Amino acid sequence: MRVTRTNKSIAALLCAMVVVASSCSSDSKTAPTTTAAVPAGSAAATVASVPSTDVATTASAGTDVATTAAGTEPQSTDASVPTSATTGGPPIKIGLIGIFQSTVLPYAYPEIQDLIEARIKQINDDGGIAGRQLQLTSCNDGGDANQAEQCARDAVSAGDVAVLGGETNFADSILPVLESANVAWIGNALLSPSDGTSEASFPMDGGVVTAGVGVAAAATDAGCKKLGVMALDFPTGIDAANWMKGGMEALGGSAEIVKIPLTALPDFNAQVATLESANVDCLSAVIAPTDIPKFVAANSLTGSPLPLILPNAEVGPVIESLGASGDGILAVGDFYQLSDPKAKPFTDWVAKYAPDVKVSPVCLPSYTGTYFLESALKDAAAAGDITPESVLKAMGEQENISGTMNPPFSTTKELSLPDDKRLFPTSVVVYKASAGAFAPQRDFKDYHDLIETVGAKK
């Protein structure tokens, strides 16, 4: 049911992996639905701010009121836009699917919905696409695979020409529906197998792949020859560790992996001791961000701590809490940190267009996807007409596009890896902790060839 309103990241992976082991959440687990940003002069539709356990309602001129109870059916909200009377044609319908509220998971990402609504409003305020406004429909899958599939079916039924991924774990439920209708899935991370294999998938974050090879490259650059990896005993955790191991071996080093049970542990002393006894000379860990202090504490017990390289740089608050004890920790990422001076174009954009949105790094894949989508829509319009088929085709022809928070990349050439062929962004940036904050250590470097080498041997 759609309520009318006119509008594989490694950190998210770790949050999903450790639901049973620890708490890992966004600032708002069940954030209220917010009022959509709409173009000036449009027939604006307003949504009351309500908790996710209530019923969201919306009405606009000429539109029936629809209701959806959270936790029962997918929650969708539209942003009303002017019709052909005031624009160059009917609105172009776009979908957004993600975990924006949830009663079954301890995390949700309402900030993604808020940021994408602001981005769509900006495109509309700037004239839209070929004089036509965009109409964004956001569907909350609530952390449920069945709801995610229904969100996809609703998008196809409504005539959405493309769907943006809002950091959901259920692409395996979403993509079969979208691909069968030739609808592009844009801006998710490599969170599910289908994200890496479907011809309709255009992920904007390399997930465990770029995190794994990024750690191996950063470790090697730091002089590490043998990397010790603690990884949660879960398919995604072990996959990330194996990418690290493969990266070390491809770069002339080696790695030792120790598995950690999903049940909460009071400390990681035994695991770190096991790795140190294997004569590793640096350490990494695929664990929940909230467990990083335990990892640092275990490493410090030896009296001669080993260098630490984290597979995600989206842990600023944790590093801040560590203070001086976190000094020297390296972390890799697919995007600039918000505190990085090179993130200024993005932070300036947020200050201008989305000042009330509490942005987090988890927003960045979806946000980047809007730049690819905008370019593809313009190309489709220039070629004749904007349809799901024309947008899907145009998405596969994008070259050197950037969302400002990562280097430009293209969607014109797949990787040769069957399981990860749809991974297009292959660059990694490195940060170093100092005095409770990350500072740039090395700018983005492209690891396309290393990814191909490691993937071919997995």
Domains, in order of start, for the chain: 10-205+346-395 (3.40.50.2300), 208-333+426-457 (3.40.50.2300)
Q: Yes or no: say if 311 and 240 are a contact pair by the CB < 8 Å rule.
A: yes
Distance (Å, whole) CA 77 – CA 137:
5
> Out of 82-86, 177-181, 284-288, which region has the weakest mean confidence (pLDDT)?
82-86
Mean pLDDT of 265-275: 96
Q: What is the DSSP letter of 24?
A: -
Q: Which ranges of 135-232 would DSSP assign to H, the alpha helix? A: 145-158, 171-180, 193-197, 207-221
Over residues 286-311, the pLDDT tens digits come to 998 999 999 999 999 977 899 999 99
Distance (Å, whole) CA 445 – CA 427:
5
Checking if the pLDDT of 403 tops 90, the result is yes
**Length of the chain, please?**
458
Checking if the pLDDT of 385 tops 50, the result is yes
Checking if the pLDDT of 64 tops 60, the result is no
What confidence score (pLDDT) does residue 304 get? Answer: 87
Distance (Å, whole) CA 366 – CA 378:
19
Over residues 433-456, the pLDDT tens digits come to 999 999 999 999 999 999 999 999
Mean pLDDT of 382-397: 97
**Strand-by-strand arrangement of the 226-232 sheet:** 254-260, 226-232, 282-286
Q: Percent of the chain, pLDDT > 70?
A: 81
Checking if the pLDDT of 397 tops 60, the result is yes
Q: Give the Cβ contact number of residue 180 at 10 Å.
A: 11
> Out of 122-131, 312-321, 395-404, 439-448, which region has the weakest mean confidence (pLDDT)?
312-321
Helix 235-250 and helix 207-221: axis angle, to 10°? 40
Q: Yes or no: say if 205 and 8 are a contact pair by the CB < 8 Å rule.
A: yes
